[in-house]
Amino acid sequence: MTTVIEGKATTDTQFDPIALAEAAAIRTRAESEAEARRIEAEGKAEADKITATEEAEKLRIANERAAMRLEKERADHQAHLAKKAADTAKSNAEEAKAKKAQEEDAEREAQQLAEQERSERYWKWGARGIYAVGLIIAAPVQFMHFWDRERPFLIAAPALLEGLALVLAFGAAWAVAHRRDVAPYRVGIMLGAIIAAGINLYGGWTDPAIGFNAGLIGAIASLGGPIVLMAYEHGVAQKADGIPSWREKRAAESEKKRAAEERQKAKEEKATAEERAAAQKAAQQERDRGEQARKDKDRREHHADVWEVAEALRSARGSSVVTEQIWADAWYRVTGSKVVGVRPELEAESRAAQARMKMASEVPILGQFSHVESQKGPGSKRAPGTPDGRRSNGGTPPLRRAGDAQPYCDAAKKQAALEQADTASSNKTI
What lies within 8 Å, CB to CB, of 60 at 6+ separation is none
Are the C-beta atoms of residues 410 and 372 closer than 8 Å to each other? no
Which residue in 186, 187, 160, 161 sits closest to 172, CA to CA? 186
Instruction: Tell me the angle at which helices 324-335 and 304-317 cross, rounded to the nearest 10 degrees.
Output: 130
Task: Please indicate, yes or no, if residue 392 is contained in any of the structural domains.
Answer: yes
Task: Please indicate, yes or no, if residue 273 is contained in any of the structural domains.
Answer: yes
How far, CA to CA in Å, does 394 sit from each of 18, 19, 40, 398? 9, 11, 29, 10
- Do residues 79 and 151 share a domain? no
Q: What is the mean pLDDT of residues 242-250?
A: 69
- Do residues 143 and 238 share a domain? yes
DSSP for 17-42? HHHHHHHHHHHHHHHHHHHHHHHHHH
Q: What is the mean pLDDT of residues 290-310?
A: 90
Looking at per-residue pLDDT, the higher value among 371 and 422 belongs to 422
Q: At 384, is the pLDDT very low, low, confident or very high (cuts 50, 70, 90)?
A: low
Rg of the chain, C-alpha, whole Å:
64
Task: Please indicate, yes or no, if residue 22 is contained in any of the structural domains.
Answer: no
Domain range holding 145?
123-243
Note the pLDDT of residue 243. Answer: 64
Task: Please indicate, yes or no, if residue 403 is contained in any of the structural domains.
Answer: yes
- The pTM score is 0.36
- Do residues 313 and 410 share a domain? no
Task: Please indicate, yes or no, if residue 323 is contained in any of the structural domains.
Answer: yes
Q: What is the mean pLDDT of residues 262-283?
A: 91
Average pLDDT, the chain: 77
- Do residues 289 and 390 share a domain? no
- Do residues 328 and 297 share a domain? no
Count structural domains, the chain. Answer: 5
pLDDT above 50 (res 4): no
- Do residues 295 and 313 share a domain? no
Instruction: Tell me the angle at which helices 157-177 and 212-241 cross, rounded to the nearest 10 degrees.
Output: 10
What whole-number distance in Å separates Cα of residue 248 and Cα of residue 246?
5
- Do residues 136 and 224 share a domain? yes
- Do residues 215 and 285 share a domain? no
- List pLDDT tens digits, range 21-32: 777 778 777 877
Task: Please indicate, yes or no, if residue 418 is contained in any of the structural domains.
Answer: yes
Are the C-beta atoms of residues 146 and 158 closer than 8 Å to each other? yes
- Do residues 202 and 217 share a domain? yes
What whole-number distance in Å separates Cα of residue 300 and Cα of residue 42?
77
Are the C-beta atoms of residues 143 and 158 closer than 8 Å to each other? yes
- Do residues 397 and 345 share a domain? no
Q: At 277, is the pLDDT very low, low, confident or very high (cuts 50, 70, 90)?
A: very high
Percent of the chain as helix, strand, coil, to the nearest 5: 80, 0, 20
In DSSP terms, 3 is beta-bridged to 10
Task: Please indicate, yes or no, if residue 115 is contained in any of the structural domains.
Answer: no
Note the pLDDT of residue 364. Answer: 57
Range with the largest mean pLDDT of 147-151, 357-361, 379-383: 357-361
- Do residues 185 and 289 share a domain? no
- Do residues 77 and 161 share a domain? no
Q: What is the DSSP code (8-state) at residue 2?
A: E
Query: Which secondary structure element, helix H or strand E, spans residue 315, and what is its range?
Result: helix 304-317
Q: What is the DSSP code (8-state) at residue 116?
A: H
Note the pLDDT of residue 273. Answer: 92
Q: What is the mean pLDDT of residues 16-24?
A: 73
CB count within 10 Å of CB 233 equals 23
pLDDT above 50 (res 7): no
Q: At 8, is the pLDDT very low, low, confident or very high (cuts 50, 70, 90)?
A: very low
Helices (H) and strands (E) in the chain, counts: 9, 2
Are the C-beta atoms of residues 228 and 127 closer than 8 Å to each other? yes
What whole-number distance in Å separates Cα of residue 201 and Cα of residue 252?
45
Task: Please indicate, yes or no, if residue 97 is contained in any of the structural domains.
Answer: no
How far, CA to CA in Å, does 324 sit from each of 283, 307, 309, 319? 21, 12, 13, 12
Q: At 128, is the pLDDT very low, low, confident or very high (cuts 50, 70, 90)?
A: confident
Q: At 294, is the pLDDT very low, low, confident or very high (cuts 50, 70, 90)?
A: very high
